[in-house]
Amino acid sequence: MRSMTAVALGATAVIMLSGCSSAVEIAPTSVANGEVCREVTSAWPVDVGDHARREVSDASAGAAYGDPAIIARCGVPALGPTTDDCIEVDGMGWVAQKLSDGTRFTTFGRDPAIEVLIPSDYAPEPLLLPAFSAAAQKLPKNSLACR
């Protein structure tokens, strides 16, 4: 069996896989249990591409799919104006930030925001974002948009 010690994806989420355990540890945000994120949580996709949803340590913290895990969290701080790449997928803005082991996508123009961490094993990573459109649409809009 594959075994990994704590692997940090960015500074915000940690995946713990060891031995026979398949639960993914996700650090909750400060507003993960708020009303908006509860609505988002109810709209997480059943699967992402052909990657099934996985067990997580705390369902209010987010959702995980596949191995290595694609991680989605609600309640990260909304991004301000940025020079990072911003793409639109299904009418939703996403800011892409390259990480050493994948890409972090954060909804843009929504407050709070959703963060989706996609390992580089799933390149091209933006092709998996449509699965999160329904959840992202539940977030309140702010005045920003991809240009």
The answer to whether the beta carbons of residues 27 and 13 sit under 8 Å apart is yes
What pLDDT is stored for residue 8 in this prediction?
Answer: 34
Does 82 fall in a domain?
Answer: yes
Its domain, for residue 82, covers 4-136
Q: Which residue has the tokens 């398949």?
A: 22
More confident residue, 147 or 98: 98
What pLDDT is stored for residue 21 in this prediction?
Answer: 52
- Its sign, for the CA torsion 88, 131, 142, 138, is positive
102 pairs with which residues across the strands?
99, 119
How many structural domains is the chain composed of?
Answer: 1
The answer to whether the beta carbons of residues 53 and 64 sit under 8 Å apart is yes
Does 142 fall in a domain?
Answer: no
More confident residue, 146 or 4: 146
Identify the DSSP state of 69: T
Does 31 fall in a domain?
Answer: yes
What pLDDT is stored for residue 56 in this prediction?
Answer: 95
Does 144 fall in a domain?
Answer: no
Instruction: Put residue 135 in one of left, alpha, beta given phi > 0 → left and psi -120 to 50 → alpha.
Output: alpha
Q: How far apart are CA 84 and CA 146, in angstroms?
A: 10
Does 33 fall in a domain?
Answer: yes
Model pTM score: 0.84
Cis peptide before 130 (omega within 30 of 0): no
Does 64 fall in a domain?
Answer: yes
Residues 6 or more apart whose CB falls under 8 angstroms from that of 33 comprise 60
56 pairs with which residues across the strands?
24
Does 116 fall in a domain?
Answer: yes
Does 146 fall in a domain?
Answer: no
As a whole number, the mean pLDDT across the chain is 86
Reported as a single tens digit per residue, the pLDDT across 27-61 is 998 888 899 999 999 999 999 999 999 999 988 89
